[in-house]
């Protein structure tokens, strides 16, 4: 099971690196690209995989973002500037889109002084 997860992670990373190398010619990410539900299939706290966030989600809908990575839904407007997402909550969480390919996205953020990376896949609601 571990090797299968490692293989899928490596394949995902290779695709993202390939796309990142062509970023200058790629179209900019728009809010409409984000619309829908994105489920976490792999998460890292620091450089270590954490299983506690698998199944968490991000829902982009009508200029609002709902996130449940803390265990409860938090919904607020968001702004997208280039590859930076700012969730207009009390803490103004910020996410950086470090990879975007079709229905896969990689988000980075810092929460409680820990760096997190979320590998998410678009799913049906």
The model's pLDDT over 67-76, given as tens digits with 9 standing for 90+, comes to: 999 889 999 9
What span, in angstroms and rounded, lies between the C-alpha atoms of 88 and 79?
8
pLDDT at 22 (0 to 100) = 46
CATH number of the domain bearing residue 20: 2.40.128.20
Question: Is the pLDDT reported for residue 42 higher than 50?
Answer: yes
The structural domain count of the chain equals 1
Q: How many of the other CB atoms lie within 10 Å of CB of 93?
A: 20
Within the chain, how many helices (H) and strands (E) appear?
Answer: 2, 9
Which helix (DSSP H) or strand (DSSP E) does residue 84 occupy?
strand 84-87
pTM: 0.78
Domain span holding position 69: 2-24+32-123
pLDDT at 54 (0 to 100) = 83
Please compute the mean of the pLDDT values over residues 80-109 and round it to a whole number.
Answer: 94
């Amino acid at each position: 099971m571990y090797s299968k997860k490692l293989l899928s992670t490596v394949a995902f990373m290779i695709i993202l690196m390939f796309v990142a190398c062509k970023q200058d010619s790629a179209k900019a990410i728009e809010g409409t690209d984000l619309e829908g539900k994105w489920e976490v299939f792999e998460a890292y706290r620091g450089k270590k995989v954490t299983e506690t966030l698998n199944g968490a989600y991000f829902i982009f809908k009508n200029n609002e973002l709902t996130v449940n990575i803390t265990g409860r839904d938090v919904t607020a407007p968001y702004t997208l500037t280039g590859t930076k997402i700012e969730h207009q909550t009390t803490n103004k969480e910020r996410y950086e889109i470090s990879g975007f390919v079709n229905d896969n996205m990689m988000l980075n953020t810092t929460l409680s002084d820990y760096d997190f990376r979320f590998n998410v896949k678009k799913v049906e609601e």
